[in-house]
A and B are shown apart, each in its own frame.
Chain A
Amino acid sequence: MSAAGEQLGGRAILDPALAPPFPVAALAVLRDPQLRKNVAHAIDVIQGKRARLVAEKPDWQALRAAASWIKDEALRNLGLYLEEFEARCTAAGGVVHWAADAAEARRIILDLLREEKASEVIKIKTMTSAEIQLNPFLEAAGIGVYETDLAEIILQLGEGEPSHIVVPALHVNRSQVREIFARRMGIRDLPDDPQALTAAARQYLRGKFLRVPTAISGANFLIAETGSVAVVESEGNGRMCLTLPRTLITLAGIEKVLPRFQDLEVMLQVLARSATGERMNPYTSLWSGVTAGDGPERFHVVLLDNGRTGILARERERQTLRCIRCAACMNACPVYRQTGGHAYGSVYPGPIGAILTPQLEQLRHSQSLPYASSLCGACFEVCPVKINIPEVLIDLRAQVTDRQRRRAGRFFDPLYLGLRAANLIFARAWLFHGAQWMGRMGLRLFTRKDGWIHALPGVGGKWTETRDLRGLPQQTFHEWWAARKTGTEGTREQGNKRAEAK
């Protein structure tokens, strides 16, 4: 079995409290060419399709602006919209529960399942349930949990972890899927073409859909004005779970609410194009409470906070909650492309994970994630709700640094001593000029004839280990400016010539 397969069996750690820092976790992936190939292939395909479909939309930027405005409005008045959703959903026959944290959400769901005397439950892919680690909790309580999304079945049967929020098993290739299905479904002579593998999954689940009377879903959108829930999917497993069981439990983050039904005219246009590179995903379902004779008789919604209100309270970070989980940012990210999702140590990988996870964890864990980016901005460019991820990353880096600096042991750390000295010097012109002069004199010793510094001793060597440093010019801007005002044209030209020479 390849290293990717081992990782599938060996369980990547996606609990932020236990996961190793990003650079450590990433190293294992970088040494696994098969895994990198699988990831690169999958995101190349989605990226290409997305780019073609976005290019054909002349109003794409207007749609992004509208989508981002709608989510902002929902967040601005989140309390009112949630209360409206609750009232309408209840009037339509649904029951709304509120969970302050993951533990409470798990307990509410388990209590509901116990009331139903459910020994089994079928599930639609939901990242929020992965966030609260629902499956292991229910299994420990003796409830059989069956994922029904093809990718989730691959991961559940292969005991793997999701590495992407839309195509969670993109790191697994067809021969690995064949091996897992053959072993766990007990099928001999299973070929490895996707058609046959998909048919095997259909066969495996058909009976469960018709038999298991309780389902758990996530939500893509909650509609305040109608009390409806919308789920966006491709395979039809969602529709099965939403219509066949007697009881449906939907787990949704509080940020999923949209003010109006009509807001979907924007959201549905941007979501499928961004997520899978389709004009529209095959199936989107919307329902309101319970409908006599059509679908479940009992419907529960669990509204989950779990750190979201903490993000809501911070002005610059609030935009994180606009996210509609399309994964366009991870598909566009040069870092994710190399490392895949597991290195992020969270169910939310990629650029959005790098800002969402540390915030959900209130920076107690995942402190390395804000640094898992080159700040190139590709994620911001593709985001359909215009989340300025680099801006939030920088802000989180500042918060991480502030926390570290406050630790007592850090007072005499050379880095912080240096930064404090710099702070002192930069605040006083005479000290700054003096330091410039000293720096110029000092660095002259290391500057080669080509004007570059190739090696520095001591701490400075860390910089020159991987890159060259340009030598300081003979004249500072201030000196040049002063000379220009009092001196002749000649000085300026000399200055220009000197600049050109370099």
Chain B
Amino acid sequence: MSASFSREVVLDRIRRATPGAAASGAALAEAYGAQPQNYIRCGAMSAGERVELMMQRLREYDAEVVECAAEELARTIATQLAASGRWRFVAPPGLPSEWLAAGFDWRIDEGLTAAEIEGAEGVVTAAFCGVADSGTIVLHHSASEGRRVLTLLPDWHLCILRASQVVETLPEYFSRCAAREQGSGVRDQESGNEGTREQGNEKMGTEGRWTREERTKRLPSLVTWISGPSATADIEMTRIKGVHGPRFLHVILVKD
């Protein structure tokens, strides 16, 4: 069987099995108007409660969390790094230089090999969003959040999350994704594309939704949702921290 032959075979079977299918892509958008969305989309917490819940959830995952004011951030990072007892760190290229505390061995990821990243004792990154309800940190892997491998191989991950990036529910994160009002932890190429945003506004549908074409372009192409350090419960359901991903997750929550 040739490859394109099987494609036609499978699609033909599907068409015969779904006689009620929409005739075109345009009709699909219609269908979505009927989706029941009476689950909780927006939370009801105050900003303070939201951050409190985020920290509580992170701690339940055995993550270390500290809070600090914006102007104390660089000092807090330095304290955290020192307390870790480690000194060889990697950082994504978009990380603000004032975050790179003096007195440590920094390697900036401008094409580091996996072995070089593996050799680091820790990594410091920004994040795209925090979801308080499940204590989830979301990375879109922009220049300040780093390539995927950067937050994977080192055993210790320090993540900087601003209070304004914390949402209460998972649906709120998805709304932020589509709207892209919120940039990444730090300004970088991800949030800078004004042209696209204005075009997007023009194309917004009457219900305030993006057209399908436009949404597709704006949605992230790489996402990692992190909820606590790597873990397994495969042996007798006993939760063990740190199988392959970082064993230690530290979070600094910046009040902004």
Contacts and interface: CB of A to CB of B under 8 A. Distances in A.
A77 interface: yes
A285 B114 contact: no
Interface stretch (B9-17, B97-105, B185-193, B197-205): B9-17
Chain B CB within 10 A, most for which of A92, A98, A209, A210: A98
Given A62-B39, A285-B148, A265 B173 contact: yes
A150 B35 contact: no
A139 interface: no
Contact of B227 (A197, A225, A265, A279): A279
A291 B37 CA distance: 33
Interface in A228-269: 228, 234-237, 239-240, 242-244, 254, 259-262, 264-266, 268-269
B86 interface: no
A149 B39 CA distance: 33
A280 B227 contact: yes
B235 A243 contact: no
A49 B222 CA distance: 30
Interface stretch (A65-73, A374-382, A465-473): A65-73
Contacts of B183: none
B18 A194 contact: no
A42 interface: yes
Given A226-B219, A305-B10, A150 B234 contact: yes
Contact of A239 (B32, B219, B224): B224
A282 B174 contact: no
Contact of B243 (A88, A226, A236, A262): A236
B interface bracket (residues with beta carbon within 8 Å of A): 35 or more
A77 B22 contact: yes
Contact of B226 (A100, A174, A282): A282
Nearest to A309: B13
B32 A259 contact: yes
A205 interface: yes
B48 interface: no
A interface bracket (residues with beta carbon within 8 Å of B): 35 or more
B206 interface: no
Contact of A150 (B20, B39, B57, B243): B243
Given A77-B31, A205-B244, A265-B171, A280 B134 contact: yes
Contact of B238 (A65, A194, A269, A305): A194
B236 A261 contact: no
16 contacts: A45-B233, A79-B14, A92-B221, A97-B3, A108-B3, A173-B236, A174-B235, A235-B231, A236-B246, A265-B170, A282-B226, A282-B227, A284-B223, A295-B149, A303-B10, A309-B16
